[in-house]
Amino acid sequence: MKLVTAVIKPHKWEDVRMALESVGVTGMTVSEVSGYGRQKGHTEVYRGAEYDVALVPKIRLEVVVGDEDVETIVSTIQTSASTGRIGDGKVWVSPLDSVLRVRTGDRDDAAI
């Protein structure tokens, strides 16, 4: 079992969700986050005063998947989230020790 976490551009979120649904992903957790990478922030000017806005708004989505689906899901996110421009985001995969479905008590692969 793996946790796939992706940080993507907010306006690509609909594309990514639809692409993931088309490869069989049935659920995910999504949060509005902010951060920066190589893209850095931007500058805003108010009455002549410049402000460096370091943090850029992003969407973070988290999907719990079985080991065999990891590659499909990571590449689906990559193709659907990509604009080819700086700031497209990142995807990372981490191992999971156990998973529990709260309603039924199912464990691990049965709970995915």
Partner 1 sequence: MDGYYAFMLIATALVLMMTVPALALFYGGMSRSKSVLNMMMMSYIAAAIVGILYVAVGWSMGWSGDVASGGTFFASPFDMLWLKDVATEGYVSVMFQMTFAIITVALISGAVADRMKFSAWVVFVPLWALLCYFPMAHMVFSCTEDSLICGRIGAQDYAGGTAVHINAGVAALVLVLLLGKRIGWPKDQMRPHNLTLTMLGAGLLWFGWYGFNVGSIVFTGTTDEENLAQFFSETGRTFANTTLATMAAILGWLLIERLMHGKATSLGAASGIVAGLVAITPAAGAVDIEGAVAIGVIAGAVCAWAVGLKYKLGYDDSLDVVGVHLVGGIVGTVLIGVFSTSDGAGGIDGLLYGGGAGSLGDQVLGVLVAVVFSGVVTAIIALAIKFTMGLRIDEEDEVEGIDLAAHGETAYDLHTGMGGGGGGKTGVLGTQPVVTEGAR
Q: Which residues of this protein are in contact with partner 1, per CB under 8 A?
A: 44-51, 53
CB 55 to partner 1: min, Å: 11
Cα angle 74, 61, 70 (rounded to 5 degrees) comes to 25
Residue closer to partner 1, measured from CB, 27 or 48: 48
E-state strands within 1-112: 2-8, 29-35, 42-46, 49-53, 56-65, 89-95
49 or 102: whose CB is closer to partner 1? 49
> Measured from the CB of residue 51, what is the shortest distance to partner 1 in angstroms?
5
The strand pairing partners of 8, in sequence order, are 59, 89
Nearer to partner 1, 41 or 87 (CB): 41
